[in-house]
Amino acid sequence: MRIDGSAVRTGMVIEFNGKLCVVIKHEIRTPGNLRAFNQIDMKDVMTGNKLNARLSSGESIERVQLDEKMYQYLYADGNTLTFMDNENYEQISMNKDFIGDRVAFLQDNMNVSMQTYEGKPINITLPEKVVCEIVETEPTVKGQTASSSYKPATLDNGLRIMVPPFISSGTKVVVNTTDLAYVERAK
């Protein structure tokens, strides 16, 4: 399906110069009195090479239709992650590098959405929000709760995020998996 160059967004898989690419980042820029364009950073799915492009609103580009299925994360064995298809119970294994930094958010029996192209995994989408526990952070100081400053904290999966000053060690918090940001205290 052909789409307008200004409609390309992060997470889309497009065909660019005969290569299958996933859009990592996009930014619509309007330089002075010139026409706006969409500056995109993308990664070649097959080789992993990063590419940059400028797309104007007059250009059209091919958006690739992917098959999407729900998979359940089973376990990690060294550098290999194993997932199970929720419909036919077939298992698929892949390298941890395929997911990147988000691998820290994988939890046993977590359902993830996997996009495939001609049977080959292209992208894995984790749930948008995950509950994690704060393992280490600076102590809470009385009277500091009204300020809008944040302090560093370490999660139970080893990642560091910024949290409000009233959060203490042992507190369960909701974290956004796309930008590694604190959302709220877990209920």
- Say how far apart CA 129 and CA 133 lie, in whole Å: 13
Tokens of 58: 């007059």
Which CATH number covers residue 13? 2.30.30.30
Which CATH number covers residue 145? 2.40.50.140
Q: For residue 98, how far is the Cα from the chain centroid?
A: 12
Give yes or no: residues 134 and 178 share one domain. yes
Give yes or no: residues 6 and 58 share one domain. yes
Give yes or no: residues 10 and 57 share one domain. yes
3-state secondary structure of 101: helix
DSSP 8: -
The pLDDT assigned to 170 comes to 92
What tens digit of pLDDT does each residue of 24-44 get?
Answer: 888 988 888 888 889 999 988
What tens digit of pLDDT does each residue of 96-140 get?
Answer: 887 877 788 888 899 999 888 887 887 788 899 999 999 999 886
User: Residue 162: pLDDT above 80?
Assistant: yes
Q: Which of 78, 108, 125 is the last residue of a domain?
A: 125
Give yes or no: residues 89 and 120 share one domain. yes
Burial letters 77-99, b for 16+ CB under 10 A, else e: eeeebebbeeeeeeeeeeeeeeb
Decide if 81 contacts 112 (C-beta within 8 A).
no
The percentage of the chain sitting over the pLDDT mark of 90, rounded to a whole number, equals: 30
Decide if 20 contacts 122 (C-beta within 8 A).
yes
Domain span holding position 146: 129-185
The number of folded domains in the chain is 3
- Say how far apart CA 130 and CA 43 lie, in whole Å: 26
Instruction: Please state the pTM of the whole predicted model.
Output: 0.67
The pLDDT assigned to 71 comes to 94
3-state secondary structure of 67: strand
- Say how far apart CA 118 and CA 131 lie, in whole Å: 34
3-state secondary structure of 6: helix
Q: Which of 39, 63, 87 is the last residue of a domain?
A: 63
